[in-house]
């Protein structure tokens, strides 16, 4: 189906306008907005398993069974966040940097103060609060001539949750609360955010399929919130030194060696008694979606 469909939603999504903007660039695309769904990514993956590989964009005003990394549950309240997934077939030379390309496209389309946390989170710069996340799932064991189906789930907070105060009631607890787009763009709504990012996202996906990650490294590094900071990724601990051309994270360990991390979760290491305590964002917010790579 190549069309736009909205079913009983409370917000004005202007889905027909969005479809008209995208249809020439993305042949056969369908856009659907639902008032509630378990998981937009699960819904699109189910379609793919039934044989429907047409490009699709599915939005839910309320998501009640969303999934983050490692199967963590998360949900989204109506209007407080933007939750959607895109499904398409791709034949990139390398899949490993796809979440970085998606994150960069979102950040560039939204605001200069949005930073990127490897491999799949959006943060509010200089505040260390999570703004959004990305979940990438593919079907099959590898690309073939016909392409490999992929579903990209995106959750962006619209409303923010302020950081919690410490026990004395004076200092915000590092890593508590989460950022919202309304802090950066007052009055923005979930439909407005979608219209800002949908076109740039599809262009980024097409460019990544053609050119890979290398042309994006400088722009991604300029928004890298981990660079130069002490981090831990699994057993690897040290100072983050940016990303490589294959999308892996480079960490300089205490003995001067370089560890290369290809997937997993990264936390900022404490720097002192009052220092960071591992910002992961609250599970259950739109910001807890993470790439499954």
**DSSP-assigned letter for residue 224:** B
Alpha helices in the chain (DSSP H): 15-22, 40-49, 98-110, 181-184, 190-211, 217-222
113, 148, 269, 277: the active-site residue: 269
Task: Give catalytic status of residue 277 as yes or no.
Answer: no
Whole-angstrom Cα distance, residue 98 to residue 144? Answer: 17
130, 196, 223, 293: the active-site residue: 130
Task: Residue 200: name the closest of 85, 82, 110, 81 by CA.
Answer: 110
Whole-angstrom Cα distance, residue 212 to residue 26? Answer: 19
Whole-angstrom Cα distance, residue 228 to residue 230? Answer: 7
Task: Give catalytic status of residue 196 as yes or no.
Answer: no
Alpha helices in 137-225 (DSSP H): 181-184, 190-211, 217-222
Task: Give catalytic status of residue 5 as yes or no.
Answer: no
Whole-angstrom Cα distance, residue 33 to residue 40? Answer: 10
69, 129, 196, 293: the active-site residue: 69
Active site residue ranges: 69, 130, 269
């Amino acid at each position: 189906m190549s069309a736009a469909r909205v079913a009983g939603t409370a917000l004005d999504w202007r889905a027909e306008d969005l479809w008209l903007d995208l249809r020439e660039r993305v042949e056969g695309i369908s856009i659907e907005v639902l008032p509630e769904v378990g998981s937009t990514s699960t819904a699109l993956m189910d379609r793919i398993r039934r044989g429907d590989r047409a490009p699709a964009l599915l939005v839910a005003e309320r998501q009640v069974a969303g999934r983050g990394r490692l199967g963590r549950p998360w949900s989204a309240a109506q209007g407080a966040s933007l939750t959607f997934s895109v499904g398409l077939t791709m034949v990139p030379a390398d899949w490993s940097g796809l979440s970085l390309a998606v994150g960069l496209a979102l950040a560039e389309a939204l605001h200069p103060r949005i930073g990127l946390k490897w491999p799949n989170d959006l943060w509010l710069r200089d505040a260390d609060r999570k703004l959004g996340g990305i979940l990438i799932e593919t079907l099959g064991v590898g690309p073939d001539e016909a392409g490999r189906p992929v579903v990209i789930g995106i959750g962006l907070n619209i409303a923010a949750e302020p950081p919690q105060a410490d026990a004395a009631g004076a200092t915000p607890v590092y890593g508590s609360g989460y950022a919202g787009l309304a802090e950066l763009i007052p009055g923005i709504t979930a439909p407005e955010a979608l219209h800002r990012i949908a076109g740039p996202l599809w262009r980024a996906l097409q460019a990544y399929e053609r050119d890979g990650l290398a042309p994006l490294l400088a722009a991604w590094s300029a928004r890298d919130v981990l660079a130069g900071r002490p981090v831990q990724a699994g057993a690897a601990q040290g100072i983050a030194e940016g990303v490589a051309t294959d999308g892996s994270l480079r960490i300089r360990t205490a003995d001067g060696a370089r560890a290369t991390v290809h997937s997993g979760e990264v936390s900022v290491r404490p720097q002192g008694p009052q220092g960071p305590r591992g910002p992961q964002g609250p599970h259950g917010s739109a910001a807890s979606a993470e790439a499954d790579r």
